A and B are shown apart, each in its own frame.
Chain A
Amino acid sequence: QSVLTQPPSASGTPGQTVTISCSGSGSNIGSYYVYWYQQLPGTAPKLLIYRNNQRPSGVPDRFSGSKSSTSASLAISGLRSEDEADYYCAAWDDSVSGRVFGGGTRLTVL
Chain B
Amino acid sequence: MQLVESGGGLVQPGRSLRLSCAASGFSFDDYAMHWVRQAPGKGLEWVSGINWNSRGTGFADSVEGRFIISRDNAKNSLYLQMNDLRAEDTALYYCAKDMSAQLPPEGFDVWGQGTMVTVSS
Give the contacts of A39-92 with B (CB-CB under 8 A). Answer: 39, 44-47, 50-51, 56, 86, 88, 90, 92
Interface string of B84-95 (1 = CB under 8 A from A): 000000000010
A99 with B104: CB separation less than 8 A:
yes
B99 with A44: CB separation less than 8 A:
no
State which of A39, A86, A96 has its C-beta within 8 Å of the C-beta of B61.
A96
A97 with B111: CB separation less than 8 A:
no
Distance from A7 Cβ to chain B, minimum over Cβ atoms (Å): 13
Give the contacts of A11-45 with B (CB-CB under 8 A). Answer: 32-33, 35, 37, 39, 44-45
B44 with A88: CB separation less than 8 A:
yes
| Interface residues of B, count at CB 8 A | 23
B94 with A44: CB separation less than 8 A:
yes
- Residue of B59, B60, B94, B108 with most chain A CB atoms under a 10 A cut-off: B108
A35 with B107: CB separation less than 8 A:
yes
Which residues of chain A come closer than 8 Å to B104, judged between CB atoms?
32, 92, 99
| Interface residues of A, count at CB 8 A | 26
B106 with A33: CB separation less than 8 A:
yes
Report the bound CA distance from A47 to B106 in whole Å. 11
State which of A44, A99, A103 has its C-beta within 8 Å of the C-beta of B43.
A103
Distance from A101 Cβ to chain B, minimum over Cβ atoms (Å): 5
Distance from B119 Cβ to chain A, minimum over Cβ atoms (Å): 21
Q: Which residue of A lies closest to B49 (CB)?
A: A99
Interface string of B6-48 (1 = CB under 8 A from A): 0000000000000000000000000000101000000111100
Question: Which residues on B are within 8 Å of A, measured CB to CB?
Answer: 34, 36, 43-46, 49, 58-61, 94, 99, 104-109, 111-114
- Residue contacts A-B, CB under 8 angstroms, 14 given: A35-B107, A37-B108, A39-B44, A46-B111, A47-B109, A50-B99, A50-B109, A86-B43, A88-B43, A90-B44, A97-B58, A98-B61, A100-B46, A101-B44
